[in-house]
Structure 1
């Protein structure tokens, strides 16, 4: 018998886990509580204590573990690196805001002169400087108005101009977009009646002309957005419809304000208005690269009618959106424009450099050619040459749930991280996320990759 043996019971290791009040005295956690609130900090501490009781972390690391579990902000949304190759990924919030727009939002977060003329001290028009910037970007627009999204822009137009009257629209433009959203349902809900003309693949100016009568409010042209009709087709353009004697409303969808050399088939606001459109509607968070909002550009009388309609109040945007929109319109190139115009050769160089660095750390990484898309319903069928990091498929799930989430896409059994949608300054951030993923990647193969494939291989075209 060992003379040093004792019958004294061993100390339960769970008793070494520090008490909650002791952990909360850590100055780092006190700072986090001031920033995030006490509830999330206490929740993180309880989770860390439970991990210590299970032996997953040492009792002395409870505070560090709790800090690692805390979110970066008090909000529930998490910043994500978009490596899908879809520039305007609907599930990831579409257009990322520029640095100028983010700064403008921060400046506008407190009290602002959103509806006050500081010189006179009297009430001023809401969003006046943002609307002026929008008109400057689209010279053919006599007036402009902004609502909270692209669908709202059409709702306001239909309600204010066509309630109880007819909207003439081609059968080929009665579209359904993302998440089962159908344009005809939206328009009918406003109290307007739809007068369908032509066929799915061919609608001529004569088809429109034959449908016009004293009940017609306007002719509507809708960009097909997320699909193309090819072959034996015919579509009347604005120049053919403008002389018919009723207003022509054009929904260009993706928010391109002027022609873009890389997207010759994408409709834009300036061209439509010059061709004779009375009103153009569009989204602000697509090719414009701004915040979610709906743009209305057109004649002074029509835009005034829309802005003064009672529904306009319910659809108006807040000061943060106005600030971000103005900075987008007046500031430097947006991340969307930079991604759209990125040099494929430079993208390949970045991919090779990252692959080489990661391979040196033992990661199965390769640089491969890739194809990116615009997304968000913009430029359907257009692909953009790109380059990507190719990783084993199991990385897809591990990167999504990492401390710094990365969303890629699955192609031929590999996880591709497309660099056209990753700003170059974020390359090291991307590499760090990949390096930290292998510890969980080995166990993530059982995690379904279907979510990654559906969320990242394509973008919803919803407006």
Structure 2
């Protein structure tokens, strides 16, 4: 009898002991349905375990409805943090058109829709429909690039960094490559010309100075062991003042036959008229370059890709490099490039890249900005919530580093820190990525896509008018 009473007392004690709910029990709760649909059950399960482990280490237990609500909030917060790492649509209000951190060039919806069938079914990626046998992956792209640039042949890889490595490794491994000191660039992610040369197996020979490199500098550095002269686009900086750049025609004319001339043009400017200073890829070929490489997702406006064009025999060598299998893109890239280049060669609007389209929308953006500034103006007692200010846009993405274009911005006037406002804009249903100028947040309208204007306007109205506790500058 005494033993039975002791057992019952032990059970009562265990039942009253503070506990944490089981992971499986929480996972089936309705409040996690949306998180599971966005993240998957295993990821949400891990998030629950992390939160519960944290509670256990802090000796926090569920003893009331308030405790359970707090636990659910902590789990949801963990899930939301993970959801924000997913690829998602954002609104570019930075004034940088080709923004590397925001996906560079947006693909035209018309182009995307045009290639949807190719990419949601089977395709002739590597089969010759004429012969019924395995064919080349290039499709029509090389013919289109040839028509655009005047090249003899072309090959596409997954980005322009791969283009540079490929031509160095195939054409100059174990040999000398001459590069100007003023063109030993570093771009985002630590990509440096000296490093990529070393990894490709080439021996870098520096010529000239940071601000002056002449044709004589290149020619005087040539030896029997020289394979290549590489000229590199100054993608993210400009040198002004006492400068001189070698004339490419002269360099090409004076180079001995065993030395090739290649240009990393970078930006992909070809037919566009948005720059007076940038040299188009086709002009480099006409001036004597044997190969030119550039990005497909910058000024051209296509998917991420590297395009190498020029002399046919050299392109064929590149295609036989063992690393081509690692560098070659898939059908999504090929189909989008084909569609884009066809539209570009036909002078259709959707064949224009975002850099070019942004110049055509300046007046429409200004008129829209005036309307929005008037509607968000606030009351005379409170002052304006936003002000319309003149601003600038840049092309960005490692292109045209010293060229600026006029634009308009909505400047936000709130009694709160600019960084806090930036954070709140990114918390919107469709995150808005803006910038700070003179300690004020600016929403640059030049980089807001026409289809996003209504979204931005609606979110700003909610932001300014939905919170009665908001304080404004008079």
Using the size of structure 2 for normalisation, the TM-score is 0.78
Cα offset, 1:130, TM superposition: 2.4
Match of 2:282 in 1: 270
Classify 1:81/1:74 alpha carbon distance in 2 versus 1 (closer, same or farther; 3 Å): closer
Which stretch of the first structure deviates more once superposed, 160-169 or 242-251? 242-251
Which stretch of the first structure deviates more once superposed, 303-312 or 128-137? 128-137
Verify: 1:76 aligned to 2:86, yes or no.
yes
Counterpart contact for 1:370–1:387, Cα < 8 Å: yes
Which of 448, 451, 457 aligns to 1:431? It is: 457
Note the residue ranges of structure 1 that are not aligned, 5 or more in a row. 1-17, 446-463
Which of 214, 217, 236 aligns to 1:204? It is: 214
Using the size of structure 1 for normalisation, the TM-score is 0.80
Which of 389, 400, 417 aligns to 1:379? It is: 400
Counterpart contact for 1:105–1:321, Cα < 8 Å: no
Classify 1:338/1:280 alpha carbon distance in 2 versus 1 (closer, same or farther; 3 Å): closer
Cα offset, 1:437, TM superposition: 3.4
Pairwise CA RMSD of aligned residues?
3.6
DSSP 3-state at the match of 1:128? coil
Verify: 1:23 aligned to 2:30, yes or no.
yes
Match of 1:359 in 2: 377
Counterpart contact for 2:266–2:293, Cα < 8 Å: yes
Counterpart contact for 1:83–1:419, Cα < 8 Å: yes
Alpha-carbon distance between aligned partners in 2 of 1:304 and 1:443, rounded to the nearest angstrom: 64
Match of 1:86 in 2: 96
Cα offset, 1:43, TM superposition: 8.9
Match of 2:305 in 1: 293
Cα offset, 1:109, TM superposition: 3.9
Match of 2:316 in 1: 304
Classify 1:155/1:388 alpha carbon distance in 2 versus 1 (closer, same or farther; 3 Å): same
Counterpart contact for 1:159–1:191, Cα < 8 Å: yes
**Runs of 4+ in structure 1 displaced over 4 angstroms?**
18-22, 32-47, 52-57, 69-75, 360-363, 438-445
Match of 2:358 in 1: 340
Alpha-carbon distance between aligned partners in 1 of 2:65 and 2:146, rounded to the nearest angstrom: 63
Classify 1:338/1:424 alpha carbon distance in 2 versus 1 (closer, same or farther; 3 Å): farther
CA displacement 1:80-133 (0-9 Å, x = unmatched): 100100011111121111113322553314422111123432111103122222
Match of 1:124 in 2: 135
Counterpart contact for 2:355–2:395, Cα < 8 Å: no
Counterpart contact for 1:203–1:236, Cα < 8 Å: yes
DSSP 3-state at the match of 1:280? strand
Note the residue ranges of structure 2 that are not aligned, 5 or more in a row. 1-24, 52-61, 344-349
Classify 1:413/1:310 alpha carbon distance in 2 versus 1 (closer, same or farther; 3 Å): same
Which of 222, 225, 230 aligns to 1:220? It is: 230
DSSP 3-state at the match of 1:366? strand
Alpha-carbon distance between aligned partners in 2 of 1:42 and 1:357, rounded to the nearest angstrom: 46
Alpha-carbon distance between aligned partners in 1 of 2:47 and 2:164, rounded to the nearest angstrom: 45
DSSP 3-state at the match of 2:279? coil
Alpha-carbon distance between aligned partners in 2 of 1:419 and 1:368, rounded to the nearest angstrom: 11
Alpha-carbon distance between aligned partners in 2 of 1:100 and 1:133, rounded to the nearest angstrom: 19
CA displacement 1:131-170 (0-9 Å, x = unmatched): 22222222x2100001111111000000000000010111
Cα offset, 1:209, TM superposition: 1.1
Cα offset, 1:76, TM superposition: 1.4
Higher gyration radius (CA): 2
Classify 1:106/1:34 alpha carbon distance in 2 versus 1 (closer, same or farther; 3 Å): farther
Greater RCO, 1 or 2 (C-alpha within 8 Å, sep 6+) = 1
Q: What is the aligned residue count? A: 416
